[in-house]
Copies of this chain bind each other. A is one copy, B any other.
Amino acid sequence: MRHVSGARCVKCGKMYDADPNVTTCSCGGILDIVYDYEYIRTKLTKEKLAARKNPSMWRYRELLPVEEDTPDTPLRVGWSPLYEEPYLAEMLGIKKLYVKDDGLNPTASLKDRASAMAVAKAREAGAEVIACSSTGNAASSLAGNAAAAGLKTYIFVPSRAPKGKVAQLLTFGATVISVEGSYEDTFELSKAAIEKWGWYNRNAAINPYLSEGKKTVSLEIMEQLNWEVPDYLAVSVGDGCTIAGVWKGLKDLYGIGFIDRLPRLIAVQAQGCYPINRAVEQNRPWEPMEENTIADSIAVGVPRNPDKAINAIRESDGLTVEVTDEEIMAAQKLLGRTCGVFGEPAGVTGTAGLKKLCEEGKIPADASVVSVVTGNGLKDVANAIKYAGEPITIPGDMDRLLREFEERGIRP
């Protein structure tokens, strides 16, 4: 990989070769892939990119840590739509709002980007089995992307994972171990099993390549905005890997001169579980928290990638905000009604946080903001129904319909 200089520890700075099996630093720190930006500048131009037809994350090969001959992974991951939402922008009192619907990925979440990268690197490593622990989306995306590539998967999920995600795993043919306990318990069991059997490790905070997959969401956003940098970028935070990836993509684009400034990140966590935001807000090391939120994908009390996430928020002069489950579910409805976008609870948490900051007057009226919806609402139908209300259930009778409309004050 001529364009990759190596993998650098975010804690002690030690450099490693970018081998497909590289994991964490001997000091325990997480590694960050380092590119040769000067070399990439000679290989990639905006015009070259614009001429590419590949509507997937692999259109950005020069910025991805894969060998030249590593094939694109089979599922079409990435190039999700970025919608301009003037109506919702007006409601929130900001100048411009864009919603990136990453729930339209093949297995319906942003995690497909990381899993596709894991599959590419597992192939480079010659592995036939990949494993991970996950609150659900990393799992289902790995199972789907690996199945399409003919690789076996062992997946560890906490037993609270919503049914939609478990249904995906089983249909994709994964061996699924549902752990009765927290995400922490799940992670530890997966770690022990991966060590024992030597499976390729897709745990996002161990494998430094995964945030390189996730960063493609920022590369796309910027290309879709024709390289006009927004003032803010709002995203939900759980394990910390997504916001770290988002930031990495922006910095890479800055590094190769495709953008001339960087947006401020808006890091949104649930009020019932916000160890990363708390560390930033109180300017002290992070500490574990309970996992007390409806937004299962970001209910991570012991985040596995706090360093990269906290760095990203600080470096970007970012904002942090916490939202209640009620605010999350209100954002789900708001996005549905005004944008036609149906996100899962954790998927709309970024938008919920943005709304809260707007209401608190913390976002200037002339701001342009991108809000990333990270997963599809169909992943967690039970909660959507609980908050969205019930349909009008009647027999097929016009008089009855008239009566119901009248009683409910519906005037067609």
Does residue A328 face the partner (Cβ distance < 8 Å to B)?
Answer: no
- Partner among B167, B193, B199, B394 whose Cβ is within 8 Å of the Cβ of A179: B394
From residue 353 to 400 of chain A, which have CB atoms closer than 8 A to chain B? 376-379, 381-382, 384-385, 388-398
Is A253 engaged at the interface, CB distance under 8 Å to the other chain?
Answer: no
Q: Which chain A residues numbered 35 to 93 have a C-beta less than 8 Å away from chain B? A: 55, 74-76, 79, 81, 83, 87
Q: Is A169 an interface residue (CB 8 A)?
A: yes
* Neighbouring B residues of A166 by C-beta, 8 Å: 385, 391
For the complex formed by this chain, how many copies does it contain in all? 2
Tell me which of B129, B189, B193, B396 contacts A188 (CB under 8 A). B396
- Which A residues, 160 to 186, have Cβ-Cβ distances below 8 Å to chain B? 163-164, 166-173, 175-181, 185-186
Instruction: Report the Cα distance A163→B169, complex, angstroms.
Output: 20
Give chain B residues whose Cβ lies under 8 Å from the Cβ of A175.
Answer: 392, 410
Interfacial chain B residues near A376, Cβ < 8 Å: 108, 378
Which of the listed residues A76, A166, A199, A378 has the most CB atoms from chain B within 10 Å of its own CB?
Answer: A378
Contact call A159/B393, Cβ cutoff below 8 A: yes
Closest Cβ–Cβ distance, residue A327 to chain B (whole Å): 16
Distance in Å: Cβ of A268 to nearest Cβ of chain B: 20
B145 close to A377 (CB less than 8 A): no
Contact A397 B150 (CB under 8 A): no
Q: In the complex, A54 Cα to B308 Cα: how many Å?
A: 36
A138 to chain B, nearest CB (A): 15
B180 A393 Cβ-Cβ under 8 A:
yes
What's the least CB distance linking A47 to chain B, in Å? 14
A340 touches B167 (CB 8 A): no
Not counting A163-B381, A170-B388, A188-B396, a sample of 18 additional A-B residue pairs whose C-beta atoms are within 8 angstroms of each other reads A76-B104, A81-B106, A107-B342, A147-B336, A148-B341, A166-B391, A168-B342, A170-B384, A171-B377, A176-B391, A177-B394, A178-B393, A180-B395, A185-B396, A189-B396, A189-B397, A193-B412, A378-B379
A and B contact pairs by CB, cutoff 8 A, 18 listed: A74-B83, A75-B81, A75-B83, A75-B340, A87-B150, A101-B106, A108-B376, A108-B378, A148-B339, A159-B393, A166-B385, A166-B391, A167-B378, A169-B391, A170-B391, A172-B337, A175-B410, A181-B396
Identify the 6 closest CB pairs spanning chains A and B, nearest first: A148-B340, A185-B396, A170-B388, A171-B336, A176-B391, A378-B378
